Amino acid sequence: KDLPSFKELPNYKNFSGCAWGVWGEGDELGTVNLLTKDVVLEATKEIRTGETVSLNWPINFPEKPLFTRRTPEITVISRRPDYPARDDEIHMNSQSGSQWDCLRHFGVLEHHVFYQNHHQDTIPLGPITTPDPLKVDPEKIKLGVHNWANHGICGRGVFLDLVKFFTKDGTVPLPYDPWTTHPISAADITAVANAQGVQFRQGDILILRVGHIQKYYASSQEEKDRISSTPEEFAGIEQSEEMKAFLWDNHFAAIASDQPAMESWPPKDMNFMHQTILGMWGMPLGEMFDCEKLSKVCAETGRYTFFFSSWPLNILGGCASPPNAAAYF
Ligand code: UVW
């Protein structure tokens, strides 16, 4: 499909680059539409050795979730405690660790709308009851993560290892602290892609290693506790029109990083990137993907592209999901 360029997309009020309607009025997949059968089939050619790498942090990591979210509770129970039979019960905020932000998670704040101009009042708070999944009113679950769970977020993964690039393979310190608002520019991303010999294709799933999880492991409990209490500051993609044009014009199907907000945080104004990526484009936005092993395997193999598979949890009307993501080489 020939997509409009960022400049060709209409504005929505004071927001540039509005992609509502690009995939039809009733669309709930957003840029996941770019993961067509042809794109997925082409991406499977990336599987050559059979080596696989998980990109999921354990679901109870980080131990103290950021942005005042609750720590997941995992309890082992048994209806027959005297026998080798166990269940577990898990209560968690789907935003507490490795996650895809979904289209219900964030809209355009000042205008109170989600992707495709759905007003926030049409997505009420409270329990979603599903006595019969086949009879759920689609209106009640619109923009839910189940849409991506039924399609899959699978295609060619492109990994850009900013940590390795900026530290010259670990020989110098990172020129930025991942726990500051340091902005990563489109020129930075392009420089890393060029150094790694990667050329982007429409429908790629872009994964950035900014250094958050590496720093997390290297930090004391005291330092970890500090970032789990406000105000949080994280290095990430820059909040700018240039960055929006870069992401849209490369026609990525999804973007993710090891960082807790993807974009440089906190926002410098009310026009920050979550709103465009999720609210204007319907693009999966991945946070806290564990890229540590991926970094090693890519360095060893010299390959920074692979088949990427992610099957979010099938939560009807869900706002986010652990990614359940893997790279296949
Ligand atoms: C922020 O709000 C920064 O991130 P999240 O997507 O986890 O809500």
User: Ligand 1 centroid to 49 CA: how many Å?
Assistant: 36
User: What ipTM did this prediction achieve?
Assistant: 0.93
Q: Which atom in ligand 1 lies closest to the alpha carbon of residue 66?
A: 7
Q: Does residue 134 carry a pLDDT above 80?
A: no
Q: Does residue 299 carry a pLDDT above 90?
A: yes
Q: Does residue 116 carry a pLDDT above 90?
A: yes
Per-residue pLDDT, averaged over 109-130, amounts to: 93
Positive or negative, the CA dihedral 31, 33, 34, 35 is: positive
The whole-model pTM stands at 0.97
**DSSP letters spanning 253-274:** SEEEESSSSSB-BS-SSSS-HH
Contacts of 314 (CB under 8 A, 6+ apart): 146, 149, 150
Report the helix count and the strand count for the chain, using DSSP H and E.
10, 15
Measuring from atom 6 of ligand 1, which residue has the nearest CA?
261
Per-residue pLDDT, averaged over 189-212, amounts to: 98
Q: Does residue 209 carry a pLDDT above 80?
A: yes
User: Ligand 1 centroid to 79 CA: how many Å?
Assistant: 37
Q: Which atom in ligand 1 lies closest to the alpha carbon of residue 274?
A: 6
Give percent above pLDDT 90 in the chain: 89
Whole-number pLDDT of residue 227:
86
Per-residue pLDDT, averaged over 162-186, amounts to: 97
Q: How confident is the model at residue 228 (pLDDT cuts 50, 70, 90)?
A: confident
Beta carbon of 95 within 6 Å of any ligand 1 atom: yes
User: Ligand 1 centroid to 263 CA: how many Å?
Assistant: 9
Beta carbon of 287 within 6 Å of any ligand 1 atom: yes
Q: Which atom in ligand 1 lies closest to the alpha carbon of residue 234?
A: 3
Cα(305)–Cα(245) distance, rounded to whole angstroms?
Answer: 23
Q: Which atom in ligand 1 lies closest to the alpha carbon of residue 99?
A: 7
Per-residue pLDDT, averaged over 210-221, amounts to: 96
Q: How confident is the model at residue 230 (pLDDT cuts 50, 70, 90)?
A: low
Beta carbon of 263 within 6 Å of any ligand 1 atom: no
Question: Ligand 1 test: best mutation among 57, 67, 114, most atoms within 8 Å of CB?
Answer: 67
User: Ligand 1 centroid to 13 CA: how many Å?
Assistant: 23
* 250-277 pLDDT per residue, tens: 999 999 999 999 999 999 888 899 999 9
Q: How confident is the model at residue 225 (pLDDT cuts 50, 70, 90)?
A: confident
Q: Does residue 78 carry a pLDDT above 70?
A: yes
Taking alpha carbons only, the member of 253, 252, 159 closest to residue 208 is 159
* 283-295 pLDDT per residue, tens: 999 999 999 999 9
Domain boundaries along the sequence of the chain: 30-65+94-328
Instruction: Identify the CATH number of the domain defined by range 30-65+94-328.
Output: 3.50.30.50
Q: Report the mean per-residue pLDDT for the chain.
A: 96
286 beta partners = 100, 256
Which amino acid, residue 59?
I
Beta carbon of 100 within 6 Å of any ligand 1 atom: no
Q: Which atom in ligand 1 lies closest to the alpha carbon of residue 69?
A: 7
Whole-number pLDDT of residue 226:
86
Q: Which atom in ligand 1 lies closest to the alpha carbon of residue 265?
A: 3
Whole-number pLDDT of residue 76:
96
Q: Does residue 23 carry a pLDDT above 70?
A: yes
Q: What CA dihedral angle connects 114, 116, 117 and 119, to 10 degrees?
A: -50
Whole-number pLDDT of residue 28:
98
